[in-house]
Chains A and B, each alone.
Chain A
């Protein structure tokens, strides 16, 4: 579904990714975990073409993202949804208008049908009946839920999560993790998650990639990673497991 082939990226003198290669399977949840500043978000933004690799290729359904023209890139993006760290909701719009935004832009559904889809998606993320609320009235966890409702509004094949539990209290973080698991089962889409929350990663992931010091030091099935005897992974996971 998504492939990284020898991907490297630097910002001036600072290297963030070095020769990263991996293949993300369709219909499963893959979590990339690692300390802050190792290029996790950059890696994910390459999937949607918000960042370009300096070397190597990022392929989505066989298409090299960096080589796509504007139209082809937007066509590809219509099949994706992304939950940003703070939700990235449009502050000037209500919750309902936020969720309806991609539907209005890319479909010709009548307003009544749009309202039905919005209500359904908000219900799905545990926020029923909050269409009229402004983003400023929502807590951090609620903003993420609404951001997720907007990300799945067009039933995308790929859903990307940028630190979905960062800045949340443990209970809300657990609730978001559960939401991700139930949503993936329900939609069957490919979920790619960037996180530094180790317990949460083991709750939601089917596959785990560990980024450390600009390199992908481990990538495999969840249990394989959990049982790894690699001293680096043992040290990285030991504090919280």
Chain B
């Protein structure tokens, strides 16, 4: 892809995102469709995200245990687990899985509607397809990402605790007492802000990939694939700046 074409593509995506976001703030609001999309996102994403975050919690506990034992601070294992999950692992893994599950679905659905002229049919029926198709999915992904992340994060802490206490014999009292020694409200708020931004990026990129789908089944497949890859790359890049900003706020 030439650099000019790349810049034009980014500009096109940015314009689409701004257009969708501004439509989300102005009536008509498709409340029923938005709630339906939220339910679908929750239904599709919750279990897969838990299935990824929970084993990661166990792995962090096992890896962390190797290190804390060297320094003789086994009691701090709980803190390491909670901080790593709250700050980075859970939001990042949640975003990746939601891009794979809900992002690809959104791109494939809208892409199929695009190539089958269903979006043109909406236009002719005087219904704005961006407002009707993209905005509910964008809102659903933005709002559901922190909710799914919160549940997944709890599952990660729980599974990590099981691995440390039940399987590796770490003292339960010390583990539980130090769970939140280093974590504070800022970590919780940071996770919420991060996942709100991740969800918004996944929603915007996926819907845009769907709306730019061309050329039948192959085009729809490409749109779904692009939605996953581009949204993950974008939100992981943005994550660096978010983390920097959060550290600066924390002081």
Interfacial residues of chain B within 109-143, with CB under 8 A of chain A in the complex: 112-113, 116-118, 120-121, 123-128
Chain A 75-119 interface 0/1 with B at a Cβ cutoff of 8 Å (1 = within):
101101110111011110000000001100110000000000000
Is B125's CB under 8 angstroms from A77's CB? yes
A180 contacts B by Cβ under 8 Å: no
Is A88's CB under 8 angstroms from B120's CB? yes
Is B118's CB under 8 angstroms from A77's CB? no
Contact of B117 among A81, A88, A91 (CB under 8 A): A88
Is B126's CB under 8 angstroms from A84's CB? no
Is B118's CB under 8 angstroms from A90's CB? yes
Is B124's CB under 8 angstroms from A81's CB? yes
Please, how many angstroms separate the alpha-carbon atoms of A74 and B116 in the complex? 21
Is B124's CB under 8 angstroms from A77's CB? yes
In the complex, what residue of chain B is closest to A154 when comparing beta carbons?
Answer: B125
A48 contacts B by Cβ under 8 Å: yes
In the complex, what residue of chain B is closest to A77 when comparing beta carbons?
Answer: B126
B: interface residue count bin: 10 to 19
Nearest CB on A from B217, distance (A): 14
Please, how many angstroms separate the alpha-carbon atoms of A169 and B125 in the complex? 29
A50 contacts B by Cβ under 8 Å: yes
Is B116's CB under 8 angstroms from A102's CB? no
Is B124's CB under 8 angstroms from A82's CB? yes
Is A84's CB under 8 angstroms from B123's CB? no
Nearest CB on B from A136, distance (A): 12
Please, how many angstroms separate the alpha-carbon atoms of A150 and B125 in the complex? 9
Is A86's CB under 8 angstroms from B116's CB? yes
Q: Inside 8 A of A105's CB, which chain B residues have their CB? A: 125-127
Nearest CB on B from A178, distance (A): 24
In the complex, what residue of chain A is closest to B119 when comparing beta carbons?
Answer: A88
Q: Inside 8 A of A84's CB, which chain B residues have their CB? A: 117, 120-121
Interfacial residues of chain A within 45-86, with CB under 8 A of chain B in the complex: 45, 48-50, 70, 74-75, 77-78, 80-82, 84-86
In the complex, what residue of chain A is closest to B125 when comparing beta carbons?
Answer: A102
Please, how many angstroms separate the alpha-carbon atoms of A81 and B123 in the complex? 11
Q: Inside 8 A of A102's CB, which chain B residues have their CB? A: 125-127
Q: Inside 8 A of A48's CB, which chain B residues have their CB? A: 123-124
Please, how many angstroms separate the alpha-carbon atoms of A87 and B129 in the complex? 17
Please, how many angstroms separate the alpha-carbon atoms of A81 and B121 in the complex? 9
Nearest CB on B from A159, distance (A): 11
Is B125's CB under 8 angstroms from A50's CB? no
Please, how many angstroms separate the alpha-carbon atoms of A140 and B106 in the complex? 27
Q: Inside 8 A of A88's CB, which chain B residues have their CB? A: 116-118, 120-121
Q: Inside 8 A of B127's CB, which chain A residues have their CB? A: 101-102, 105
Q: Inside 8 A of B128's CB, which chain A residues have their CB? A: 70, 74
Is A101's CB under 8 angstroms from B118's CB? no
Q: Inside 8 A of A78's CB, which chain B residues have their CB? A: 126
Nearest CB on B from A72, distance (A): 11
Q: Inside 8 A of B118's CB, which chain A residues have their CB? A: 88-91
Is B117's CB under 8 angstroms from A86's CB? yes
Q: Given the known inter-chain contacts A86-B116, A88-B116, please indicate yes or no for A106 contacting B126, CB distance below 8 A.
A: yes
In the complex, what residue of chain A is closest to B28 when comparing beta carbons?
Answer: A105
Q: Inside 8 A of A45's CB, which chain B residues have their CB? A: 120
Nearest CB on B from A143, distance (A): 11
Nearest CB on A from B135, distance (A): 15
Residues of B with Cβ closer than 8 Å to A? 112-113, 116-118, 120-121, 123-128
Q: List 6 A-B contacts (CB under 8 A).
A: A45-B120, A49-B123, A50-B120, A77-B126, A84-B121, A101-B125
The 9 closest A-B pairs by CB, nearest first: A88-B121, A74-B126, A77-B126, A88-B117, A82-B124, A102-B125, A78-B126, A84-B117, A48-B124
What 17 new A-B contacts, CB under 8 Å, besides A86-B117, A106-B126?
A45-B120, A49-B123, A50-B120, A50-B124, A74-B126, A80-B124, A84-B117, A84-B121, A86-B116, A88-B116, A88-B118, A91-B112, A101-B125, A101-B127, A102-B127, A150-B125, A160-B124
